Structure 1
């Protein structure tokens, strides 16, 4: 004999619903409009994979049960779950990616009232794709807090509102000038490629001395033609130009968000007027600025 689900005791129903996958929950409420009244208050996290072909969302319940759903199902997800967190927003762009292509995604962010995101990823489907900042500004304006950001696409320039992230990784910064890197106000910044030389790195360090607030760690790979520690130590005089520094010995630094540990043999200590201290280290083409202590 089959017992109708509506006749089961509510504590039993609640446990059943909590163990169901998101897609099954959506199918359940589609059977009858009043079925949604049976659902307990549940939470879920959502990861959005947005691209021109078949974008989708990955929904994970508090019990760790997942369903991959078409992008258009987000309204149904809103009906099933009372609390929804945007875990990851991945945007894949191509040379055909236009600002209007973001309208559906903007509709999702606005409808779901997402104001924060644990991770924002911007990737390209192929090399040579250049993304205009206007194509992404509207999306980042919707998100007041971005905990971690990965930029794996060439951008003309960075939108000014990319500053709330705790950690920013720029995998392709070949089109960014030193002034664009200065726009980032994250706690930890990793720039894996750039067109910047030792003079540009010097200006970025001076910008932190004059204006830096939240920065705790900066790792910047200089352009291929720049070598800091070659046989003649060429480049160090430009990197340290017009800076008051003291040579220091070995040390250790651990990032909070990027998950890296740096052991260095020597460096150069600098100090701001407000008492904040930092150490500059370098190895071949990589320059690092470590904010060691606060006053």
Structure 2
């Protein structure tokens, strides 16, 4: 009997060769690819270089199969580098999917840096030896930058505070533009740093409860991650100011993305806080003003803020006025918001009739998308407000998805429609405890 002859894989058609390769495990493909230049093909495998004898080990669990090949080498580090280059070349990989580093092993950081970009970096210490400090500052700049990209903003801030050199290195990173800085002036002072399309939020919260100092809370819901670090302070406003200056310096920011201010939280310090923000920020992209108690008179402070801070976003997206008796008709026509909620409004049917006529003529409220008022009967509104305005009563069997609040929609039956001269439609309907106008 003749000995078996080698299988002439290279003589097969390409599709047949491809099917054979699909049936091979990565180590078989790798070994085959090393036979000659002609056999060099796509390969994916994992090798462990050890000082032991050559052997093979296969383990299977939970449907996952792991095959490892152990090779004896006098210089495992050098051979490992050669194999890394070979695998990346064979698979035409532009990046390394993952790097797991035991920091107290013999790691060549300069070689790791040349493997960039790295999708995932896992760092650990030896199980036998006590953990050693991670020498980040000894790495090449590209490797340091990859590590910084894997950190969240609070980790970056904490690292920058370890030394002058750490602060200097932190400040030269070039990817900070993706972060948004948000200031919160409320019963608790806060500074948020948001990234990853606002899906991740890291917030410093100034508190007066010493037992909460240093506690970190992390919440995750609907794909949104929120991390909060609580910092005890005897003077939360002053410490908030110092941290704010430091955050702007580290992240090289000259503007505030969001300023959220409850005007009666620190009434005595409103003016000084506004002056501080004005001095240390060129502008504010979005500004949200709130009031806790109606009895607190903060109108002058609100006006002072609007007069002294440069607000880039001139269009207010959402306006809710709980007590709107003080708003005159002229002021109503000046409101330029996407969503407006008015409670206890003082206007008569004649006022709303004129308001809608200015909207139809596109003289006012071009950006209005949703208006909510106190509950009123739809037929009464049609007879006493729309009496001389062309309108259409929509059958209740007709269902449409309409705006029912700020960034909210719902399927609504029927309604009454009017049309603007540009073709846009406003639908009136009663919803919950309010009367609504939805523009679509």
Above 0.5 in TM-score?
A: yes
Is this contact kept in 1: 2:254–2:280, CA < 8 A? no
Shift, 1:30, TM fit: 4.2
Shift, 1:239, TM fit: 1.6
- Superposition map of 1:209-228 within 5 A: 209-210=360-361, 211-212=363-364, 214-222=366-374, 227-228=376-377
Change (3 A) 1:175 1:262: farther
Is this contact kept in 1: 2:257–2:284, CA < 8 A? no
Question: Could you tell me how far apart the structure 2 residues matched to 1:168 and 1:65 are?
Answer: 25
Change (3 A) 1:66 1:227: closer
- Superposition map of 1:79-90 within 5 A: 79-82=249-252, 86-90=256-260
Question: Could you tell me how far apart the structure 1 residues matched to 2:372 and 2:353 are?
Answer: 11
Shift, 1:68, TM fit: 0.5
Shift, 1:221, TM fit: 1.5
**Aligned length, in residue pairs:** 262
1:264 maps to 413
- Superposition map of 1:169-248 within 5 A: 169-210=320-361, 211-212=363-364, 214-222=366-374, 227-229=376-378, 233-248=379-394
Is this contact kept in 1: 2:263–2:301, CA < 8 A? no
- Secondary structure in structure 2 of the residue aligned to 1:194: coil
2:316 maps to 165
* Structure 2 alignment gaps of length 5 or more: 1-131, 206-238
- Secondary structure in structure 1 of the residue aligned to 2:408: coil
- Superposition map of 1:1-295 within 5 A: 2=133, 4-39=135-170, 40-41=173-174, 42=176, 43-51=178-186, 55-62=189-196, 64=200, 66-68=202-204, 70-72=239-241, 73-82=243-252, 86-94=256-264, 97=267, 101-109=270-278, 111-117=280-286, 120-132=287-299, 134-140=300-306, 142-145=310-313, 164-210=315-361, 211-212=363-364, 214-222=366-374, 227-229=376-378, 233-249=379-395, 250-255=398-403, 258-267=407-416, 269-272=417-420, 274-283=421-430, 286-292=434-440
Question: Could you tell me how far apart the structure 2 residues matched to 1:166 and 1:217 are?
Answer: 10
RMSD: 3.5
Q: TM-score, normalised by structure 2?
A: 0.50
Q: TM-score, normalised by structure 1?
A: 0.70
Question: Could you tell me how far apart the structure 1 residues matched to 2:266 and 2:135 are?
Answer: 51
Question: Could you tell me how far apart the structure 2 residues matched to 1:199 and 1:253 are?
Answer: 29
Question: Could you tell me how far apart the structure 1 residues matched to 2:411 and 2:345 are?
Answer: 21
How far does the alpha carbon of each residue in 1:88-117 deviate from its partner, in whole angstroms, 9 at most, with x for none? 43211339737x714423432552333412
Higher relative contact order (CA 8 A, sep 6+): 1
How far does the alpha carbon of each residue in 1:126-183 deviate from its partner, in whole angstroms, 9 at most, with x for none? 3433442x422343452121xxxxxxxxxxxxxxxxx512343444434333433322
Is this contact kept in 2: 1:279–1:291, CA < 8 A? yes
1:156 maps to none
Question: Could you tell me how far apart the structure 2 residues matched to 1:65 and 1:92 are?
Answer: 20
- Secondary structure in structure 2 of the residue aligned to 1:266: strand
Shift, 1:258, TM fit: 2.0
Q: Which structure: greater helix fraction?
A: 2
Shift, 1:77, TM fit: 0.6
Question: Could you tell me how far apart the structure 1 residues matched to 2:294 and 2:365 are?
Answer: 34
Question: Could you tell me how far apart the structure 2 residues matched to 1:253 and 1:192 are?
Answer: 24
Question: Could you tell me how far apart the structure 2 residues matched to 1:136 and 1:101 are?
Answer: 9
Structure 1 runs of 4+ with >6 Å offset: none
Choose 1 or 2 for highest CA Rg: 2
Shift, 1:213, TM fit: 5.1
Shift, 1:59, TM fit: 2.4
- Secondary structure in structure 2 of the residue aligned to 1:76: helix
* Structure 1 alignment gaps of length 5 or more: 146-162
Is this contact kept in 2: 1:254–1:262, CA < 8 A? yes
How far does the alpha carbon of each residue in 1:2-58 deviate from its partner, in whole angstroms, 9 at most, with x for none? 56442123233223333445445345444544443312122422222114x552212
